[in-house]
């Protein structure tokens, strides 16, 4: 192989994506649904890895932002009859703003303290959505207008695909830019980062706002796809599933986080026969991953995949994890 084949993995991914798009209509309605949900989680897992993996901000409020995005859009569409895309944009805007505020308030917190704080925030949001039932219909669930006026799931598949692709593209641009470098520097050592001229506070707020915005996008899509929203979307169990997905795949890279989301969602369906035993099973899998494969199960596979097109000599010297100026995700 020659060095000219570098970036082969990008072409393979593009080819796979093209195949998925072309043959999507052959999927059964059931598996199409699984794929759509997997892509919904893909947006959430990658944006959470932006927070927890890249910057080390272990927020447990990510699903709460998805919930806020969903309810905001659903309610605005219901109340004012605005077009759904506009409602989703409003949901994103609310999440960005609120995410920025949360990011600002917890600037001085780190590690477990930030986790506790965001857990508190998430539970308050859930309680409010569950309790204010004259607005949200509480635990009975809010009926949300569906995005497409058709029983077919194909349009949702394409929409989810597009949203995931655009999200990954934007997030990929962020982590590959100098911002990505600054974010990782903040994760490694905030004090040293600020001594190196990185505006730590500004970046922490910014990344909270951005990640929450993507969560809001995912939540908005979810609501308008499923057609009903319950407060449990922002609850601890959904958050735990998201943590399982991201950590299992590998939380320090976007592709592995998305891979984790896909794999776990797929397994959840395969193992449907085991009913509710699946949840403790995935809890166990998370514990085992943390114990024996800290960087995630997909991380080593991804590194191999990225090096597919490289000559052995290049592979040997490339101890580097994240190359700086390669195109693609």
Partner 1 sequence: MSAAAELLRGAGLVKRFGGIVANDAVDFAVGEGDLVGLIGPNGSGKTTLINVLTGHLAPDGGQVVLRGRPMRGAAAHVYAAMGVARTFQLTQLFARMTVLENLLVPGLTRPGSTWQAVARRARTTLEFLNLAHLEQLHAKNLSGGQQKLLELGRCLMLEPAILFLDEPFAGVHPHLRDGLIKRIQELHSAGRTFVVVDHDMESILRVSQRLVVMARGRKIADGPPAEVREDQAVLAAYAGL
Partner 2 sequence: MTWDYVFIQVANGAVIGIIYALIAVGVTLIFSILKIVNFAHGDLYMLGGYCAYYVITLLGVPPLGAMFVSMAVIFALAIILERLLLTPLYDDATERKDEYGLIVTFGLAFFLRNVAVMVFGPFPLKPPSFIPGVQRLGGLVITNDRLFAGGVGIVLIGALLWFMHRTIWGQALDAVSQSRESAAIVGINARRFNSVAFGIGAALAAAAGALIAPIFSLAPDMGVLPNIHAFVIVILGGMGSVGGSILAGLLLGEAENLFTAFFPDPTRALAYTNAFGLLVLMVVLVFRPQGLFGRRHLRME
Residues that bind partner 1 (CB under 8 A): 178, 181-182, 184-185, 188-189, 191-201, 317-321, 324-325
Question: CA-to-CA distance for 44 and 258, rounded, in angstroms?
Answer: 8
State the binding partner of 181 from partner 2, partner 1, none, CB within 5 to 8 A by kind: partner 1
Do 226 and 156 meet the contact criterion of CB atoms below 8 Å apart?
no
Give the CA dihedral 63, 17, 170, 186, nearest 10 degrees: 70
Position 117 contacts partner 2 (CB under 8 A):
yes
CB of 57 to partner 1, least distance (A): 16
CA distances for 252 relative to 8, 106, 122, 235, 238, angstroms:
22, 22, 23, 24, 20
Among 277, 300, 304, 321, binds partner 2 (CB under 8 A): 277
Q: Give min distance, CB of 172 to partner 2, in A.
A: 23
β-pairing verdict for 142-143 and 228-229: antiparallel
Residue 127 contact among partner 2, partner 1, none, beta carbon within 5 to 8 Å by kind? partner 2
192 binds, among partner 1, partner 2, none (CB under 5 to 8 A by kind): partner 1
List the one residue from 4, 291, 313, 327 that touches partner 2 (CB under 8 A). 291
Smallest separation (angstroms) from partner 2 to the CB of 42: 20
Does residue 269 touch partner 2 according to CB under 8 A?
A: no
* Cβ proximity to partner 2, 27 vs 119, nearer residue: 119
200 binds, among partner 2, partner 1, none (CB under 5 to 8 A by kind): partner 1
User: What H or E segment, with its residue span, contains residue 229?
Assistant: strand 228-229
State the Cα torsion 118-111-191-213 to the nearest 10°: -30
Spatial separation of the C-alpha atoms in residues 58 and 54, rounded to whole Å:
10
CA 235/CA 139 separation, integer angstroms: 12
Quick one: 95 or 185, whose CB is closer to partner 1?
Answer: 185
**Partner whose binding site includes residue 117, from partner 2, partner 1, none (CB under 5 to 8 Å by kind):** partner 2
Residue 74: closest CA among 149, 121, 122, 136 = 136
Indicate which of partner 2, partner 1, none lies near residue 13 (CB less than 5 to 8 Å, by partner kind).
none
Burial per residue of 178-215, b for 16 or more beta-carbon CB atoms within 10 angstroms, e otherwise: ebbebbbbbbeebeebeeeebebeebbbbbbbbbbbbb
Please state the φ and ψ torsions of residue 143, each to the nearest 5 degrees.
Answer: -80, 125
Report the alpha-carbon distance of residue 114 to residue 60 in Å, rounded: 8
191, 276, 317, 320: residue in contact with partner 2 (rule CB under 8 A): 276
Distance CA 101, CA 274 (A): 41
Contact 204, 143 (CB under 8 A): no
- What's the token pair of residue 163? 């949203």
* Nearest distance from C-beta of residue 280 to partner 2, angstroms: 4
Which parts of 128-167 interact with partner 2 (CB under 8 A)? Answer: 128, 130-131
Looking at the Cβ atoms of 40 and 58, the one nearer to partner 2 is 58
Residue 26 as a binder of partner 2 (CB under 8 A): the answer is: no
Q: Considering CB distances under 5 to 8 angstroms, the limit depending on partner class, which of partner 2, partner 1, none binds residue 320?
A: partner 1
- Return the number of the residue (12 or 135) whose C-beta is nearest partner 2: 135
Instruction: Please compute Rg for the chain using Cα positions.
Output: 20
Binding site for partner 2 (CB under 8 A): 56, 58, 60, 105-106, 108-113, 115-117, 119-121, 123-124, 127-128, 130-131, 236-237, 240, 243-244, 247, 276-277, 279-280, 283-284, 286-287, 290-291, 294
């Amino acid at each position: 192989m020659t060095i000219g084949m570098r970036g082969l993995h990008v072409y393979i991914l593009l080819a796979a994506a093209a195949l998925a798009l072309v043959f999507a209509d052959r999927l059964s309605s059931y598996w199409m649904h699984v794929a759509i949900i997997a892509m919904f989680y893909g947006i959430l897992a990658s944006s959470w890895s932006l927070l927890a993996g890249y910057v080390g901000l272990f927020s447990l409020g990510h699903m709460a932002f998805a919930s806020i995005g969903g309810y905001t859009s659903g309610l605005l569409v219901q109340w004012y009859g605005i077009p759904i895309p506009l409602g989703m944009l409003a949901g994103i805007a609310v999440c960005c703003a609120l995410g920025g505020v949360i990011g600002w308030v917890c600037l001085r917190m780190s590690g477990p303290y930030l986790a506790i704080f965001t857990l508190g925030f998430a539970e308050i949001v859930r309680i409010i959505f569950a309790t204010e039932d004259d607005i949200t219909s509480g635990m009975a669930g809010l009926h949300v207008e569906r995005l497409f006026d058709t029983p077919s799931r194909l349009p949702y598949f394409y929409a989810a695909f597009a949203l995931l692709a655009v999200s990954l593209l934007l997030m990929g641009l962020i982590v590959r830019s100098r911002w990505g470098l600054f974010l990782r520097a903040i994760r490694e050592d905030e004090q040293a980062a600020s001594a190196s001229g990185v505006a730590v506070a500004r970046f922490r707020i910014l990344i909270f706002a951005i990640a929450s915005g993507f969560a809001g996008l995912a939540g908005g899509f979810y609501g308008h796809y499923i057609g009903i929203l319950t407060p449990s979307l922002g609850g601890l169990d959904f958050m735990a599933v998201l943590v399982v997905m991201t950590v299992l795949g590998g939380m320090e890279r976007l592709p592995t986080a998305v891979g984790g989301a896909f794999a776990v969602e797929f397994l959840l369906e395969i193992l449907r026969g085991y009913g509710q035993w699946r949840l403790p099973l995935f809890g166990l899998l998370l514990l085992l991953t943390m114990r024996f494969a800290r960087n995630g199960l997909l991380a080593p596979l991804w590194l191999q995949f990225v090096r597919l097109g490289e000559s052995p000599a290049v592979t040997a010297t490339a101890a580097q994890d994240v190359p700086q100026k390669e195109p693609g995700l």
